[in-house]
Chains A and B, each alone.
Chain A
Amino acid sequence: MRLLAFLLICLSHSAFAQQNVFYLDEDKRYYLSEVEELPEMTLDQLFINAHAFMNSIQAEQAQYDAVPQSDTLKAIKTRGSFTVYNFGSLKKHIDGVVSYHLIIEMKAGKYRYKINEFYFTPYARNRYGKFVPLSGKVISLETKPSKLNNKNWNYYKVQVLQKSHQLIQHLHESMLHQETTENGKDTNMEKW
C-alpha cells in the first residue's frame, strides 16, 4: 500500500513537472529536452522515423547539416511555430504565433530532442477584419511583460507548453515506428 502511494505521488509529480515547466539554460532561455531510450531501435530506423516526423509537422524544411553528424550520431533540426490565442474571451481569436527550434539527435537505441528559441510574433486585426502578423515585431518568450500585460503573456506560455508537449508526444509516437514490408506488415513479427 505504501509502495503504491509512493509510486502515485512520484508519477503525479513527474507528470506535473513535464507538463507545466520550461527548463532554463545557462542564458536563462527556455527549453524543453529529454532523452528517450528505445533499445530495440537502430540508428537508421530512428533517423528514418525522425525524417518522417519532420515531414508530418508544419515546419520549415528540415536541416541535416546544422549539427555535427557521425556514424554513431545523426541529427535533424527545423523551425516551426505554434499559434496562440487571446485570453479570457468566450470565443477565441489568434493573438500571435510563437516560433521555435526543434533538434532531434539520435544514437542507436535512443534519441534526444530539444525545443528552444521561442519567439512571439503578435497579430493584430487588419482593415479587412482578419488577424495578421504585426510586421517587424518579434519578442522572445522569456521577455518579462509589463504588469498590465502579464495575464495575456502567461497564457501564451501555457499554450506553448501544451503544444510543445503535443509535439513531443507526436514525436515519441513517430520514433516508435518500426520499418514495414511492402505489404505494410510490421517486420518485427515477435511484437504483436
Chain B
Amino acid sequence: MKKLALLFSLFILSVMPIMAQDEVVVVEEEETEGGLSISGSVDTYFKYDFSGYENIPTSFANEQNSVSLGMIDLVLEQTVGKASFVGEISFGPRNEQSVYGFNIQNLYVSYALTDKLSLTGGYMGTFVGYEVISPAGNFNYSTSYLFTNGPFQNAGIKADYAFSDRVALMVGLFNDWNVTQDMNGVSDLGAQLYVAPVIGWDVYLNVITGSRDFDGSVGSTTEFDITTGYQITDAFYLGLNFAKAISKLKDSDDEAGFTGLALYPQYAFNDAVALGMRYENFTWKDGTNYNSFTFTLPIKSGPLTFIPEFRLDTADEDEFLDKDMQLTGSASQFLLAAVYAF
C-alpha cells in the first residue's frame, strides 16, 4: 500500500510541471531532416475523348482510352555558399514530348555574385509562360495551347538582379528554343521583369527574340508574354497568361505566329481539395481560333494528388473528329490523373 501511495505521489508530482503551466499541445516527433535536396514526381493518367479518338492537339496526356504514363522526374538541387546547381532528369512520354536529345529538363549552375545579383548558366526550363512541363508544377493536368506553342526550355546564360523583394530583372543570351546545342550560335535574347505590386500578386513581363530553325529553314521568332498570378484571398487565386508570338522566315515577308489569353481562377475548399477552371482563347495568325474550357478538381493526400478533369475545346473551323470520324468544331474529354510528388 505504501509503495502504491508512493507511486501515485510520484505520478502527481511528475505531471505537476505541466499542470502548473498553461494548456499545452503535444507534438509527437516522427522524423528528422536530411541533406541534399532530392525531389521529383511520377505521374500516370487515363484519358477518354468522347469522340473515341485522340483529338485535342495540346501537349501531353494524349493517349486515348488508355491508362498511360506521364514521366518519372528526378530533381537534384544543392546550394553551398554562393554556388548552386540543379539537375533534373526525366523518363517517359511526357519527357519525350518536351525535350530533344537527352532526358534532361534542367541542368544548370548558378553563382550569387552578391545578395542581389546572380549568374546562371546551363539548360533551364523556360522563363516564358504560365504552365510548366512537370505535372507537379501545374494545377491542370492537360496543357494549354499557349504552353504547347511556346518554348519549353532555354539553354543559355542569364543574370538576375533583384532591386528589392518586389522588383527583379533577368537578362540572358540563349540558344534557339529547346535545344541543348545551338547550330547557328547563341542568338536569342531574353528578358524578364518581375514586379509584385502587392503581397501575393506576381507579375512577369517576358520577351524572347532571336533566330529559329523551322524544319531546316532559318527564320526568327519573337514572343512577348505576360504571366501573372494573384492570391486574392486565402482560398481564391486568379492566374493569367497572355502571349503574342511573331515568326518570320529569312528572305520572306510572310509572318506566322499566334496570340492567346488564358485565365486560371482557382478556389481552394481546404488544404486538400480545390476546384479550378482554365479558360483559353488562342488564335493562329491568319488561322484557327480556339476556345478551351478545362475544369479541374485536384484532391491531395500527402504527396499524392488525384486530378479529375473535364475539358471542352471549340474551334471556328472544323478541326476535331467526331464519333463518325467526320470533322467537327468541338471536342471534349475526361481525364483522371495521379501525380505523386516527393
Contacts and interface: CB of A to CB of B under 8 A. Distances in A.
Given A91-B35, A158-B29, 20 more contacts: A5-B10, A6-B10, A9-B13, A13-B17, A21-B18, A22-B25, A86-B303, A87-B302, A89-B34, A91-B36, A92-B38, A93-B37, A127-B127, A129-B75, A135-B229, A146-B271, A148-B302, A155-B30, A157-B27, A158-B28
B271 A149 contact: yes
Task: State the 7 A-B residue pairs at the shortest beta-carbon distance, nearest first.
Answer: A136-B200, A136-B231, A92-B34, A127-B125, A91-B38, A21-B24, A148-B272
Contacts of B200: 135-137
B58 interface: no
Q: How large is the interface on B (under 10, 10 to 19, 20 to 34, 35 or more residues)?
A: 35 or more
15 contacts: A13-B15, A13-B17, A13-B18, A21-B18, A23-B24, A30-B25, A92-B38, A128-B125, A129-B106, A129-B125, A135-B202, A136-B199, A137-B231, A145-B271, A158-B31
A128 B106 contact: yes
Contacts of B230: 136
Q: How large is the interface on A (under 10, 10 to 19, 20 to 34, 35 or more residues)?
A: 35 or more
A94 B106 CA distance: 19
Nearest to A28: B23
A85 B32 CA distance: 9
Contact of B30 (A13, A14, A148, A158): A158
B24 A24 contact: yes
Nearest to B133: A127
A181 interface: no
A45 interface: no
A161 interface: yes
Interface in A161-192: 161-162
A23 B22 contact: yes
Contacts of A146: 270-273
Contacts of A130: 77, 86
Interface of B: 6, 10, 13-15, 17-18, 21-39, 75, 77, 86-88, 105-106, 108, 124-127, 132, 134, 136-137, 196, 199-202, 229-231, 234, 237, 270-273, 299-303, 341-342
A30 B132 CA distance: 38
A23 B26 CA distance: 9
B24 A17 contact: yes
A159 interface: yes
Given A125-B75, A135-B196, A2 B6 contact: yes
Contacts of B13: 6, 9-10
B34 A21 contact: no
B1 to A, nearest CB: 15
A89 B28 contact: no
A135 B228 CA distance: 11
A147 to B, nearest CB: 8
Interface string A113-156: 00000000000111111110011110100000111110110110
A173 to B, nearest CB: 22
A94 B33 CA distance: 9
Contacts of B10: 5-6, 9
Given A127-B132, A146-B270, A22 B27 contact: yes
Contacts of B33: 85, 92, 159
Nearest to B153: A127
A162 B29 CA distance: 9
Contacts of B108: 128
Contacts of B36: 91
Contact of B231 (A30, A89, A93, A135): A135
Interface centre among A6, A24, A90, A92 (most CB of B within 10 A): A92
A7 to B, nearest CB: 10
